[in-house]
Amino acid sequence: MLTYLIKRFLILLVTLWGVTVISFGILHLAPGGPLTPLTEFNPKITPEYREKLIKMYGLDKPLHLQYLNWLKGIIKLDFGRSFSLDQRPVWDKIKERLPVTLLINTLALILILLISIPLGVLSAVKSGTRFDQIFTFLTFFGYAMPSFWLALLLMLIFGVKLQWLPISGLHSIVGYEKMSLFEKILDWTKHLLCPLFVATFGGIAGFSRYLRNSMLEVLKADYITYARAKGLPERVILYKHAMRNALLPMITLLGLSLPGLIGGSVIFETIFGIPGLGQLMWQAVMSRDYPVIMANLLLVSFLTLLGNFLADIGYALADPRIRLSEKK
Amino acid sequence: MLKEICQGKSGCFALLIVLTLIGTALFGPYISPYDPLEIRVDEILQPPSLKHPLGTDLLGRDVLSRMIYGARISLEVSLVAVGLSLLIGVFLGAIAGYFGGIIDQIISRFIDIMLCFPTIFLILAVIAYLEPSILNIMIIIGLTSWMGIARLVRAEILSLKEREFVLAAKIYGASSMRIIFRHLLPNALPPVLVSASLGMGNAILIESALSFLGIGVQPPIPSWGNMLIEGKETLEVAWWLSFFPGLAILLTVLAFILLGERIQEIVNPKRK
């Protein structure tokens, strides 16, 4: 177990390093170097001032020194200042938006698991029946559904036609201060229903289909046949013997699905006007606010990496073949 | 192959849609009822009718004609993107699987690193530095979507390279490259075909998402994704503007997924 964890951790470090190298590479994609976007269309910046900026950012030094300096800043969470008018430190901007994105994605993940586990198991058990056929069709539908279109349809139906739900923001603006705690929670829930639906839709399809196949695979195993031969009740076989084993690979899938989930934030946060990281990223790209873009890119890939690492640990803890492999 | 695909209900449906799409893209200019760029101030926001089957948009342009033109853009972008990702993925996967050792280690770590970036974030960051031209979008989607194929090919080659026919090729003195490209890769083709079909669906989804976010195909060139921007703005008055382009994306992606699934069943009957 320890060797496994150490190995995973080393891989984590190598990957982390690779992520910073690629990000640094993108930084230097801009023709003429990273300063061009800042200085190109700005008449206030004279050639002399540009020289000064180049000295200040250390752009006259060799590339590997630049990389090390950049890395030093990142470790101290110093991503520089935003190019936008307020010129605030990038990390401050990110800090206030991170909780919203984490909240929605965590809620989405919980919902995905709550819905897809029973669905996947059920369709594996009823494999070949009408239910399974409909389920399979729906999962393909879920894969293929463009999330932004789903969001538009929800806005059209629930926001415009039925007028049941608000279509933008995290909470009401008018009268929000005067609400009681309960009303505030209700208000948030109403605002989050549509975004959460969009965030979970594709995930449910992927997870439940994966679980269905994993479950079908496990049900073919010898120990299930043995359990049946012993005369164990079908319920015990399914939920105690089969499901626990079928759920194991889900831990890895959980880690692997993080990039998609976080990536989806860009789309639903932009459409529903939710002030999270995804919306920040989109706004930064639209206004070419490079420090914010880079910090965002690094942060979401760190989060993904961390999620993968946690999934690895979780897998090791859950699977006795790894947990008990110390002595080998 | 085509006949086999058509034996299943879903395969037939998928094939029909994909062929329709290809036909539309090829013969777009001949079948589209209007010029997709022609602005008609006297016909703005017309609901679907006999004259304009799918209605008109804010500038009075015919939605059907724009969607026909958009089909061409979507297909073009995703074909080039998938082609590029196949090229990179098959090549890296094949040499990683065949040579193993340090080469495999380096390539596999590189794949892990690339998989850490949420694709949309990575693409957004790169596009911010480059122009969002159609060519750039094709290349960027291709450069960020080869990892799955590389892993797949690597695994296929790993399992194939110990087989007798490879040994035989080695004995008569075939070079490594010849063994990889003449003997191993043709055997790894079926799963690659499947993931190419799934990749087409994925590329169309990404392209339309980017265009919808305003950083993909730029107006006035119509694409299904950027038509939906107008749809969002006119949600209250013109449902058809946000309904039909999205439906086209959904059906197309669904068709490519079902097609991939059907090919999977044909080349690998055990999976069913």
**With contact defined as beta carbons under 8 Å apart, do A255 and A310 qualify?**
yes
pLDDT given at position A43: 61
CB of A268 within 8 A of CB of A200? no
User: Sign (positive/negative) of CA torsion A302, A305, A311, A313?
Assistant: negative
Instruction: Name the one residue in this structure whose structure tokens are 């490594």.
Output: B176
Asked if B253 and B205 touch (Cβ cutoff 8 Å), the reply is yes
Q: Residue A81, Cβ neighbours under 10 Å: how many? A: 17
Report the pLDDT value the prediction gives residue A41, as an integer from 0 to 100. 58
Q: Residue B270 has what DSSP assignment?
A: G
**Are A80 and A256 within 8 A, CB to CB?**
no
What is the rounded CA–CA span in Å between residue B149 and residue B193?
10
Residue B62, classed as helix, strand or coil, is strand
Predicted pLDDT at A328: 41
Residue A142 has pLDDT above 60, yes or no: yes
Closest CA to A205 of A125, A148, A137: A137
**Amino acid present at A176:** Y
Supply the pLDDT for residue B61: 84
Three-state SS at A89: strand
Contact B209 A286 (CB under 8 A): no
pLDDT at A42 exceeding the cut of 70 = no
| Chain-chain contact of B125 with A26 (C-beta, under 8 angstroms) | yes
Task: Please list the residues that pair with B62 across neighbouring strands.
Answer: B56
Q: What's the rounded Cα separation, in Å, for the pair B230 and A220?
A: 51
pLDDT, tens digit only, all 272 positions of chain B: 677 777 777 788 888 888 888 888 888 778 877 788 777 777 777 788 877 777 887 777 888 888 898 899 889 999 999 999 999 999 999 999 999 889 999 999 999 899 888 888 899 988 888 877 889 899 999 999 999 999 999 999 988 888 888 888 888 888 888 888 888 888 888 889 989 999 999 999 999 999 999 888 888 888 899 888 888 888 778 888 889 999 999 999 999 999 988 888 888 765 54
For residue B183, what is the DSSP state? I
Q: Which residue in the set A140, A263, A282 is minimally distant from B119, CB to CB?
A: A263
A258 Cβ partners below 8 Å, 6+ apart? A303, A304, A307, A308, B118
Q: What b/e readout covers A27-36, taking b as 16+ CB neighbours within 10 angstroms? A: beebeeebbe
- The pLDDT, as a whole number, for residue A33 is 59
- In DSSP terms, A81 is beta-bridged to A89
The pLDDT, as a whole number, for residue B186 is 86
Residue A297 Ramachandran class (φ > 0 left, ψ -120 to 50 alpha, else beta): alpha
pLDDT of residue A181: 81
Span A41-54, average pLDDT: 67
Q: How far is the C-alpha of B222 from the C-alpha of B62, rounded, in Å?
A: 11
Distance from the Cα of B9 to chain A's closest Cα (Å) equals 12
Helices and strands (H, E) in chain B, number of each type: 12, 0
Residue A326 in this model has a pLDDT that exceeds 70: no
Which token pair is B90? 């098959």
d(CA A207, CA A254): 9
Beta bridge partners of A89: A81
Q: Report the C-alpha gap between A159 and A167 in whole angstroms.
A: 6
- Compare all CA atoms of chain B with the CA of A293 and give the residue at the minimum distance: B125
Structural domains for chain A:
1-76 (no CATH), 98-326 (1.10.3720.10)
Q: Which of B9, B120, B211 to mutate to test the interface with A (most CBs of A within 10 A)?
A: B120
8 Å CB contact between B210 and B126: no
Residue range A145-154: mean pLDDT, rounded: 91
Q: Are B241 and B63 in contact (CB under 8 A)?
A: yes
pLDDT at A53 over 80: no
Q: Is B237 on the interface with A (CB under 8 A)?
A: no
Residues 6+ apart with CB under 8 A from A140: A205, B254, B257, B258, B261
Query: Half-sphere exposure (CA, 13 Å, Cβ side) for A57?
Result: 18
| Contact check, Cβ <8 Å, B249/A284 | no
Q: Rounded to a whole number, what is the distance in Å from the CA of A113 to chain B's nearest CA?
A: 21
Q: Taking the mean position of all CA atoms in its chain, how far away is CA A52?
A: 39
Looking at CA atoms only, how far is residue A36 from chain B in angstroms? Answer: 10
- CA dist., res. B260 & res. B10, Å (int): 11
Banded model confidence at residue A325, pLDDT cuts 50, 70, 90 = low
Are B77 and B134 in contact, with CB atoms under 8 Å apart?
A: yes
Q: What is the mean pLDDT of chain A?
A: 83
> How much is the pTM?
0.87
Q: Do B208 and A146 touch (CB under 8 A)?
A: yes
Return the SS3 of A81: strand
Task: Give per-residue pLDDT as tens, A201-236.
Answer: 888 998 998 899 888 888 888 888 888 888 888 888
Q: Compute CA A184 distance to the chain's CA centroid, rounded to the nearest angstrom.
A: 26
Q: Write down the pLDDT at residue A66.
A: 80
Q: Is B106 in the A-facing interface, judged by CB distances under 8 Å?
A: no
Are B253 and A144 within 8 A, CB to CB?
yes
- What is the signed CA dihedral for B32, B33, B39, B40, rounded to 10 degrees? -170
CATH of domain B1-267: 1.10.3720.10
Reduced to 3 DSSP states, what percent helix, strand and coil does chain A have, rounded to the nearest 5? 75, 0, 25
What 3-state DSSP class applies to A318? helix
How high is the pLDDT of residue A327?
Answer: 47
Taking alpha carbons only, the member of A106, A267, A260, A112 closest to residue A195 is A267
Q: HSE-up of B212 (CA within 13 Å, CB side)?
A: 29
Comparing CB atoms, the residue among A264, A281, A305 nearest residue B124 is A281
Per-residue model confidence (pLDDT) at position A83: 74
Q: Which pLDDT belongs to residue B272?
A: 45
* Pairwise CB contact (< 8 Å): A146 & B235: no
Q: What is the percent of chain A with per-residue pLDDT over 90, rounded to a whole number?
A: 12
Task: Tell whether B119 is within 8 A of chain A (Cβ).
Answer: yes
Render B184-200 in DSSP notation, one character per residue: IGGGGHHHHHHHHHHHH
Higher pLDDT, A260 or A57: A260
Question: Can you name the residues that pair with B141 across neighbouring β-strands?
Answer: none
